[in-house]
Amino acid sequence: MKIKKYTASTIQEAMLKVKMDLGKDALIINTRNIRGKGFFKFFKKPTVEVIAAVDEQKSSSIEIQDAANFREALNKQSASVIKMQNQTRLDLLESKFNSMEETLKNIYTQIKKISDESIDNSSTSNCKKSKKGLPQLFYDNLIKNEVDADIANELISQVCEQLGDNDSVNDFINTLYKKVTSLIGKPSTISLEHSKKPYVVIFAGPTGVGKTTTIAKLAAHYYLSYNKKVSMITADTYRIAAVEQLKVYADILGIPLSIVRSPGEMKEAIKNFEDSDLILIDTAGRSYRDTSSFEEIKQTINAADADEIYIVLSMTMSTRNCKEVLENYKFLNNYKIIFTKYDEISAPGIILNTLYYARKQVSYITTGQNVPDDIEVFDTDKIAKKIIGNIN
């Protein structure tokens, strides 16, 4: 018997954690409210503690059966699915190659810049002289944080032009901060402050960016935190694992899931959920280079006639690849951007580069694989400060 303890702000959230960790066969041994120790903590809302257990032998037998079922499903996959998986591996290799290519390009740009300054020192701008190296320092910070050289140059030039002969360090930092936050913009999330019901939101993006997990996180967030009636639809029938993954989340949350196999089935699926507050739709993840498949994706999105559209991008992608993805989705009149895998990168310049190119609003950012915890509203202030860096 495996026994574990869980704490959460509500009983619903605690139960979700139990099911996510131990599975739907877990037994609840005890629940209680916990108040913090001390006078002031007495007035705070208590947390919930749940002790749960699961029979490891039963769990193992279920896992063995699930594994057998999964192997059988894999054996039934078509040649087209296997080909798609191979294409995904090639895309990942190509993404890494392109990232290396961009890094070398940045190094070349820096070497050329230093060489040009040594040949003709008089070409150094008055701004750089008056700021005693501040422009160069923060330019280097932007490059270190993987901001494109052209964007970094433009930002520093705008700050110099605005400040003139003002050599205050704080003024320089504050002006640069305002320029960066202006480019990023304020986050815009799913809004339910309207009378329309159901509110339909559709998600698109390439393979491997974490789109299905992101949808599950948002479904749990609006179901648990806002007590909304949420339904899910998936049109990603090309990957058996994606459908099964969403089924697991739907079963744990206790929300309905519909699977559509063609754009023609989309309207009927939405109609069946007309009593829902929110419908979240997952589309097939395709390689951004597979332009022929985008016609079907376009038809699916058009058939959904969604109130909001989100494109999901991984922060592990290169700026070049992000541009190509967005270029393929240029048939969309309007959309918002979700960035995933923030926990897997060390420099957030890809965010600024993408938003500078797309000129679209950002919404959420994911920070891990845990459902429903690892997703948050995009924090413009935090990301801008990390992009700018410091002078230490």
Residue 56 to residues 21, 105, 264: CA-CA distances in angstroms? 13, 54, 44
User: Which is more confidently placed, 56 or 77?
Assistant: 56
Mean pLDDT, the chain, as a whole number?
82
* Domain boundary residue, one of 75, 93, 117: 75
* Domain boundary residue, one of 42, 75, 108: 75
Q: Is residue 338 part of a domain?
A: yes
Per-residue confidence (pLDDT) for residue 317, from 0 to 100: 94
Which percentage of the chain shows pLDDT scores above 90?
45
State which residues form the domain around 370. Answer: 199-388
Q: Rounded to a whole number, what is the distance in angstroms from the first to the last CA of the chain?
A: 53
Per-residue confidence (pLDDT) for residue 84, from 0 to 100: 59
Per-residue confidence (pLDDT) for residue 157, from 0 to 100: 94
Domain count, the chain: 2
Taking 70 as the threshold, does the pLDDT of residue 355 lie above it? yes
* Domain boundary residue, one of 23, 47, 75: 75
Q: pLDDT tens-digit profile of 166-212?
A: 778 899 999 999 999 999 999 999 987 776 789 999 999 988 899 99
Q: pTM above 0.85?
A: no
Q: What is the mean pLDDT of residues 323-338?
A: 91
Taking the C-alpha atoms of residue 308 and residue 334, their distance in angstroms, rounded to an integer, is 8
Q: pLDDT tens-digit profile of 302-318?
A: 999 999 999 999 999 99
Q: pLDDT tens-digit profile of 205-247?
A: 988 899 999 999 999 999 998 899 999 999 876 666 768 888 9
DSSP letter string over 102-140?
HHHHHHHHHHHHHHHHHH-GGGS-HHHHHTTTHHHHHHH
Q: Is residue 255 part of a domain?
A: yes
- The pair of structure tokens assigned to 188 is 């815009």
